[in-house]
A and B are shown apart, each in its own frame.
Chain A
Amino acid sequence: MTMRISTFFYTLWQGIRNIFRNKGYSAASIATISASLFLFGLFFSVIDNISYMVHNAEQGVAVTVFFDDGTTTEEINQLKIALEERPEVKQVVYVSADDAWAEFSKEYLGDYADGFTENPLAGDDNLEIYLNDVSKQGELVNYLEKLDNVREVNRSEITADTLTGVNRLLAYMSGFIIAILIIVSIFLISNTVATGITSHKDEINIMKYIGATDFFVRAPYVIEGMIIGLVGALIPLGFTYFFYNRVVGMIADRFSMLSNILKFMPAADVFRYLIPIMIALGVGIGFLGSTLTIRKHLHV
């Protein structure tokens, strides 16, 4: 379909006119789309942040292997090299008993550590294994437990699994709510456009007998829907953008003791995806709503 520049602007102008000729309905549609896309933005930010935290937590998830007494440093080092060959393993750290005691006493005992003259963890050399893929943790633990020199394998699975579970639940719930809201939005846009078409019946008929193509008759209504969708996306985007840093700052303040888990994504990272997704959603909803109506009401 070739189109002159002047025709394009004329059509665009007609679409904008339609919105203003039909203020009440247009406003209602924009409000619903804004509401649904605001919720979308909200859930998106939350889910995105939880994923981000899960990812961070996973980085810290480690399997710790302790060895039978009498296992030599040589043997431990051999196992370390063997483990590093495995694809799911990201890093293996050798923690000597002295290292372990130093860290433990620093973290939990502080000044009281001076009371110990000997290392109570003597002989507790261990390997900390960090994984690329947390889901492979069980498999790895099984493998380790069968090894000869291994006395004990400690795993720390809880944080990652819980977070993933919460995230999934939230995703399903928000998906459901958003789907309903999007359907309502499409319905409302469709109604708005239908009202416009009905009130312009005469104009449409005139266009038809002058020889307007279907495309020319329909385009302003599609544009009307798309502009409504676009505005309906920009409003909640502005809103979310304005409040994101404030809310994140507030939560971090309130729950400062959880600061090692509550690591939020920087706004720029969230909005890099949120902006195009929301605009595409808004315009898409508008396009769909108007196209459906035109099919039904505008027999050119």
Chain B
Amino acid sequence: MAWNRTEIPGPVESGEVVISLRDVSKRYSREAPAVSHANLEVHEGEFVFITGETGSGKSTLLKIIMHQLVPTDGTVNVLGYNLNKIRHTKIPKFRRNLGVVFQDFRLLKDRNVYENVAFAQRIIQVPGEQIRRNVTDALDMVGLADKYKRQVTQLSGGEQQRVAIARALVNKPFILLADEPTGNLDAETAWDIMQLIERINTQYGTTVIVVTHDRSIVDRMNKRVIEMKQGEIIRDDPARTEEEYDEYYEDENAYQDVDSDGYDYEN
């Protein structure tokens, strides 16, 4: 795929700050805030997990980043856009820098695989000939090139999520936001999807934020982990260094089962 940015091999923390939240709070009602005094900086090319118990504010945080919600307090800056002040007419332009993936896929059920991915290109008015090329590339990336004519309702959950990822990718976003992308999938498929997202991060240098409940995946992937509880960010651990990572797996026996499934997570 013709990415016009330099490919960054693996996680990088020294890139420019692309997401910055300062003292951000969001209240839906008079009750306890869904997000409370969150501070967060994400650098270009980073891969970040957000975890936490249900209702802790993970989705709300993601919605603030994609400007689906406006925070009650605090400032939000994404890719140089001040989301507190962004003009309504600028929102589409801003969103075109983001790719979004959800737990429930959110595909257009009355269209086939190709049309679902092409949809994202049509919306941003890419010329017809380019659409074909870009959609083919995106479907190649997610491994669905041969099923482009299928109705999405005839795909497995994992395949549907791949289509959704292809749709998020096809416009070549700077940031990929995924809210529980593996929540509806069995462990094996979940792992495949997570590997795909990691490959997008490493191959294209796309900044990735993944919200997930799945501790086993988080533990296996050695990424920066942010944990939320009752709206607050209570933990923000950077990815472990090589030594820490090895040490961790020497001590850890809990994942022997998964290992024996034949996954080679070092690749």
Contacts and interface: CB of A to CB of B under 8 A. Distances in A.
B43 interface: no
A6 B95 CA distance: 22
A211 B92 CA distance: 4
A6 to B, nearest CB: 4
A4 B123 contact: no
14 contacts: A3-B125, A4-B125, A205-B106, A206-B119, A207-B123, A209-B95, A209-B98, A210-B100, A210-B120, A210-B124, A210-B171, A211-B92, A212-B92, A214-B89
Given A209-B100, A210-B171, A4 B95 contact: no
A7 B98 contact: no
Given A211-B92, A211-B93, A213-B92, A206 B108 contact: yes
B95 A10 contact: no
A216 B100 contact: no
Interface in A1-51: 3-4, 6-7, 10
A86 interface: no
A6 B122 CA distance: 9
Contact of B95 (A202, A203, A211, A216): A211
Contacts of B98: 209, 211
B66 A210 contact: no
A209 B65 CA distance: 12
Interface residues of A, number: 18
Interface in B105-119: 106, 108, 119
A208 interface: yes
8 A-B pairs closest in CB distance: A211-B95, A211-B96, A212-B123, A211-B92, A6-B128, A213-B92, A7-B125, A210-B120
A216 B120 CA distance: 12
Interface in B241-264: none
Contacts of A10: 122
A209 B124 CA distance: 11
Q: Residue among A203, A205, A212 with the most chain B CB within 10 A? A: A212
Contacts of A210: 95-96, 100, 119-120, 123-124, 167, 171
A6 B127 contact: yes
Interface of A: 3-4, 6-7, 10, 202-203, 205-214, 216
B94 interface: yes
Q: Residue among A4, A205, A211 with the most chain B CB within 10 A? A: A211
Consensus secondary structure, chain A interface: helix
B68 interface: yes
A91 to B, nearest CB: 66
Contacts of A7: 122, 125
Contacts of B68: 209
B66 A4 contact: no
A206 B66 CA distance: 13
A179 B147 CA distance: 54
Nearest to A202: B106
Contacts of A4: 125, 127
B189 to A, nearest CB: 22
A92 B98 CA distance: 84
Contacts of A214: 89, 92
Contacts of B89: 213-214
Contacts of A206: 106, 108, 119
A203 B124 contact: no
A175 B122 CA distance: 44
B9 to A, nearest CB: 29
Contacts of A202: 106
Contacts of B108: 203, 206
Given A6-B127, A209-B66, 13 more contacts: A4-B127, A6-B128, A7-B125, A205-B106, A207-B123, A208-B95, A210-B100, A210-B120, A211-B91, A211-B123, A211-B171, A214-B89, A216-B123
Interface string B57-73: 00000000010100000
B185 to A, nearest CB: 20
A265 to B, nearest CB: 49
Nearest to B129: A6
Nearest to B107: A206
Contacts of B66: 209
Contacts of B119: 206, 210
A216 B121 CA distance: 12
Contact of A211 (B94, B127, B128, B167): B94
Contacts of B128: 6
A66 B100 CA distance: 95
B222 to A, nearest CB: 29
